[in-house]
Structures are given as C-alpha cells and as structure tokens.
Structure 1
Amino acid sequence: MADRKLPPLADATSGALGAVVANTLVFPLDVIKTRLQVQSKTLSTLSPHQSYTSSSDAFLKIVRTEGIAGLYSGLGAGLLGTVANAFAYFWFYAQVRGWYSRRIGGEGGIGTGMELGLGAVAGALSQFFTLPISVVTTRQQTTVKHEQLSFLQTMKQIRYDEGIQGLWKGLRASLVLCVNPAITYGMFERLKTVWLKRSNNPDGRLSAGQVFILGALSKTLATVVTYPYIMAKVRLQWAPPKITDGELSDDEKESITYKSAPDVLRKVFASEGLAGLYQGMEAQIVKAVLCQAILFVCKDEISVYTMILLRFLFRNNNKSAVSRVPG
C-alpha cells in the first residue's frame, strides 16, 4: 500500500458507491424526465394529472398528487440498476480488455480509439444482464402511486403480461446508445483542442473548471445527438395505462403501441412533430451533468476513506502474521 492507487475492485467499489450517492440526489430529475418522455397528446385527455408542459410543471404536479415520495418512484430499482451497471461494466471491460491485450501481446498497442471501442463492447455486454432492472425502474417511475408494485411484483407482472422477453424491451436501442460515451469523448477532445488553441495556453493543460465546462458541454452535445433514441428506449420499456373500451379509437391505441425504436420515432414525429422527439431533454441534460459532477466529487471522497480502510486492514494482517511467527 505504498502507493496511493486503489486496487481495481476497490476502485470499482468507490465508483459504484459514488454513483449511488449521485443518482439518489438527482433521482427526482430522472423521474421527471421519464414521465415527460412517455407522455403523449393521445393520453393527455385521459390522464390530465399526468400531462406536463415542462419540468417545473411536472415537479409541481407530482408533488401535489403523489407527495414528495412520487419524485422517488422506483428509487430502489434505480439504485440497484446503478450498482449492477457499474459492476457489470467493470467486469466485462476487464475481461474484454484483458483478452485484447493478450491477443496483441501487451497493452502498448491499445490506443484511445480502441479503448473507446472496448468500452462500447463492455457496455453492450452489460446491457444483456442489467436491462431487466431498467425496464422495472421505468415501469415504477411511470406508474401512479396507488398502482405501484414492488420490484419483484413488477417483474412478475411483466413476465405474466408480456412473457420473459418483456424484461428485455428496448435492448436494441440500449445497444445503439453504447456509442454515447464515444461521442462525448470525441466532442470533448475536439473542444479541448479548439479551447487550447484559442487560449494560447503554454503548458497545454486545462484547469479543473475548464475540464468541467468542456465535459458538461460535450455531454450536452452527445445527449442532443442521441436523445431521440433515449426517448425511444424509455417508450419501449413503458407500459401504457389500462384503457377501457371506447376511451380511445383503434388508431389512437395503435399510435401508442410500439414495436421498435424506429417505430417509436416515426409515430412520435407523426403525432407531435420534432418537439416530441426531445420531450424531457432539459431534465435529462441537467440530470446527466449534475450526476457526473457529483459522482466525481463523491468518488474522490470515498476513495480516500477506502484507502484508509485498506491500509488499516493491511497493517492488521501484517501484525497478525508477525504474531504467528514462532519466537
């Protein structure tokens, strides 16, 4: 423990715990953006209390009709998904990177582009195992308080209504969205180059504040590019409210029944125009930027205490080993 670098598993644990703290703090924004993403003109007349004009309107209506607890609908499933995603991604990335490193005879040949590619592969593999948690979270976030079920009950309900494949709704859209980190990184590097060139920075380095600004801008641009697919994924995982006979025509029912991400994009654009493809984007961007910033801060703080704990355990193990040596 002479150096200050955490072992990979401890580093992943710090990251996962930081992600839990960050996602708990911004979870109300996640609920708001999810409800904005699934609302439609077709259903607005049937459920006016779940028809929102903006993020602030959604916040006020949720608190008024469901209380503060409504802003945390699906929190348990959401945090479980956060931890599962963090560990699944870490494990698959270690496996994929290790395999590729052995194939090329060392890590020296792994460039930035390949690192991003390996990360995308790890992200795609982790989706196969963690997507059911995402589907359950979406269902809980978009269900009114008096109809909400527990995590296991929601999972059983999905299996009963839609079969086991219902737990993997939105898988193709999730795989497409694995390119989001690569877009973010590519935009960051481009903005960094432009920034340094215009600022005439002699050492070619960015300050912490500049990194945050460029990182937030890069994440925003990547979100704008991929947002229609983010919205499509949520609509595929969402289940429309139960509709009694005569409330909607067959055409209206068809307009909120989706077969694939392209089908979602086509139907939303046809009924709500370009604006419909970007419903909830404001809350999505604020949530993503805040979550990333909080995550970095929390991870650094948790890493410090993790290092202290590991040093304590390491010293105790050494003392125990010494005490067992015959005199």
Structure 2
Amino acid sequence: MSQSLTPFENALAGALGGVFSNAVVYPLDTVKTRIQADKAAEAKEHPAIKKQLGIIGTLFTIVKSKGGFAALYRGFMANMANAFIQQFAYFYWYTLVRSLYIRRVMRSKEVAPALSTATELVLGALSAALGQLFTTPVGVIATRQQIGTESHEEDDTMIGHIKEIYHKDGITGFWRGLRPSLVLTVNPAITYGVYERIKTVILAASDGHMTPGKSFVVGALSKTLATVVTFPYILSKIRLQAKNTPYQNAFEVLGHILEEKGLAGWYQGMQAQITKAVLSQALLFYFRDYFEIWTLKLLEITGNK
C-alpha cells in the first residue's frame, strides 16, 4: 500500500503515526530517559534512586517530585516535534532512496520488488542517517527537558534549554550525541529491514493484504530485536545529551559505565526502553497504515490518484 504514495505522502503518514504512537507512550518515555540518564546529582540528593532502576519505582519518584504528575509530560511538545520531524525525515528519505535504488540500480519494473535483507538494512541506515542531521537538535532539547533541572531557578522551558545549550556549547551543542545517533541508524534499519522481510512472508502466506493489526505484531517483533542489539549506544546517547555531562564521546560513556557497574550497566533501563520502544513502534506501524488508507482515499476523492 505504501508504494502507491509519493515520498512526501508516505512521510506524512509515517510522521503522523509517529506522533500518535509517541503521545500514547510518553510517560513511559520519560521514565526510561530518567533511568538511563542516572544523574549523579539526583543520586546524591535522593540515594534511593540508585536502587529504583525499575519502571514502577522511577515512575513514583517522578510523580513525587516537584512537578508532580505533570513531570511525566515534561518536554512533551519538544518530544512530539522531534517525533514528527524524525519520522517524517526517515520515511521521506527511506521511500525516496528505496524507489531510486529500485529504478536506477535494479532497473525493476515492479512497483515493490522484494529486496534482500542486507539491501533493506543499508537503505534503512542511509535514510536514518540523513534524517538524524535534521532531528538531533530537537532530540537534545527533548532529552534535557525529560531529565529535568536541578534547581527551581533554572528555566526548564524549551526556549530556556535552547538559550542554555547555545550559551554553553555554541551551535554545535545542538548536535551533541550525533555520532552515536548515526551509529544508531542501524536501529531503524534493523527494525524496518526485519519488518519488510516478515511482512513479505505474511503477505505471501495470507490474502496479500497487510492489516493494521498485523502491522502492530510485526512492528513489535522487529523493534524488540533492534533495541536489544543497539541498547548500549542508546544509553550512551542519552548520557551525552544530558545537561552538564562530563563525557565527550560514546566510548568514554561506555568505558565509565563498564568500570563502575560492569557489563550489566550497559543495559541499565533496557526493560523500560524495550517496553516503550516496542509499544511506540508497533503503534506507529498500526497508525501509519490507517493514515495511509485515509491519505489514499482522500487522494481518490480529490482526483489526484
């Protein structure tokens, strides 16, 4: 179905699906970011946090903080903007790069020929890398808002964080964590590569139609695998983007964690990450299919298809 849409239309459907899915799981996203950040300052102020590495414990810690229940939605607008831009950029570049590859390299006359898993991974990684250049600045701001400030006097708004990042790190500060983000392009590459392969099998074994329900299940399986493989770098990206971070690169982050907590430290908060990522990704595929259906119907009504 998605091949009937132009890159812009497919990107819009994917972006709207991303916003809806992220909005549903946003409190869980805040919880997993707090667990992964593991702020030393917070640990000194609240020693119990070190022991509350689970989802429920961290959830209650956030709710009991100065922001109350609203603290679970800190940085919501920045995160939604990031979700929209990130998914739009990814689906746009993925659709464009994939279609160019099929036309120029494969010279295939089929609208949606089956590609190898390796090809899907490379195309997905390239698309995600192009998208990261546009989305990292908003991601840095969203991460800092979710982690929160350490003082009542600090400006915790989006504008406040923008001013602080520019004042302390200059314009390059908005792209902090870009290198691990580029490495993490393998995450959506694995997700969508596996998704496309499983979808091909399902379509061949069924009636040839991919329903939103099937997309939900396949999306969940795909994202679980991708998250397990790339989690240490996901953790290092969060630490690099945190306010007043002492780290300069991902290897320094991972080396410090390994020294302090051992190999298990690389997977701190993975349960929350997988729960959030799987729900978000599965819902994204679910909503995206609906938005594609609505987009196609709208285009049929207006006579553009």
SS in 2 for 1:53: coil
What is the rounded CA distance, in whole Å, between the counterparts of 2:218 and 2:95 in structure 1? 28
Deviation at 1:50, TM superposition (A): 5.5
Q: Alpha-carbon deviation of 1:11?
A: 2.9
Distance 1:134 1:114 in 2: 28
- Asked whether 1:223 is paired with 2:227, we answer yes
Deviation at 1:262, TM superposition (A): 0.8
CA contact (8 A) 2:217 2:282 kept: no
Counterpart residue identity of residue 122, structure 1 = S
Aligned: 1:115 with 2:120: yes
Aligned mate of 2:260, from 258, 267, 271: 271
- Name the structure 2 match of 1:93: 94
Displacement of 1:14: 2.0
Deviations 1:234-285 (A, max 9, x none): 1001114xxxxxxxxxxxxxxx611110110000111122232111111111
Q: CA deviation at 1:290?
A: 1.0
Equivalence for 1:150? 157
Alignment of 1:67 with 2:68, yes or no, is: yes
Corresponding residue of 1:325:
none
Alignment match, 1:320: none
Q: Is the 8 A contact 1:12 1:87 kept in 2?
A: yes
User: How far does the alpha carbon of each residue in 1:78-115 deviate from its partner, in whole angstroms, 9 at most, with x for none?
Assistant: 11111111222233334534554564372469833323
Alignment root-mean-square deviation, CA: 3.3
1:302: how far off? 2.9
Instruction: Name 1:318's counterpart in structure 2.
Output: none
SS in 1 for 2:45: coil
Larger radius of gyration: 1
CA distance in 1, matches of 2:284, 2:71: 24
Unaligned residue ranges in structure 2 (runs of 5+): none
Give the 5 Å matches for 1:172-251: 172-184=179-191, 204=205, 215-240=219-244
Aligned to 1:244: none
User: What is the CA-CA distance between 1:164 and the residue it aligns to?
Assistant: 1.4
Q: Shift of the alpha carbon at 1:140?
A: 0.6
State TM-score, norm by structure 2. Answer: 0.81
Q: 1:116 to 1:83 in 2, by over 3 A?
A: same
Q: Give the Å deviation of 1:64.
A: 1.8
Secondary structure class of the residue paired with 2:303? helix
CA–CA distance in 1 between the matches of 2:89 and 2:276?
Answer: 22
Once the two structures are superposed, residues 192-238 of structure 1 have per-residue CA deviations (whole angstroms, 9 ceiling, x without a partner) of: 99xx9xxxx9x745997787556534422321221111000110011
TM-fit CA distance, 1:40: 5.0
**1:302 maps to what in 2?**
291
Query: In percent, how many aligned pairs have the same letter?
Result: 44
Amino acid at match of 2:224: T
Kept after mapping to 2: 8 A contact 1:32/1:280? no
Q: Residues 5 and 188 of structure 1: is their aligned pair in 2 closer, same or farther, counting only changes over 3 Å?
A: closer
Matched, 1:12 2:16: no
Compared CA separation, residues 22 and 38, structure 1 to 2 (3 A): same
The whole-number CA distance in structure 2 between the counterparts of 1:307 and 1:49 is: 52
CA drift at 1:133: 0.7
**Structure 2 counterpart of 1:285:** 274
Query: What's the TM-score once normalised by structure 1's chain length?
Result: 0.76
1-structure distance, mates of 2:13, 2:46: 42
Distance 1:135 1:171, change over 3 A: same
Aligned with 1:126: secondary structure? helix
The number of equivalent residue pairs is 290
Sort the Cα spacing of 1:101 and 1:221 in 2 relative to 1 into closer, same or farther, 3 A. closer
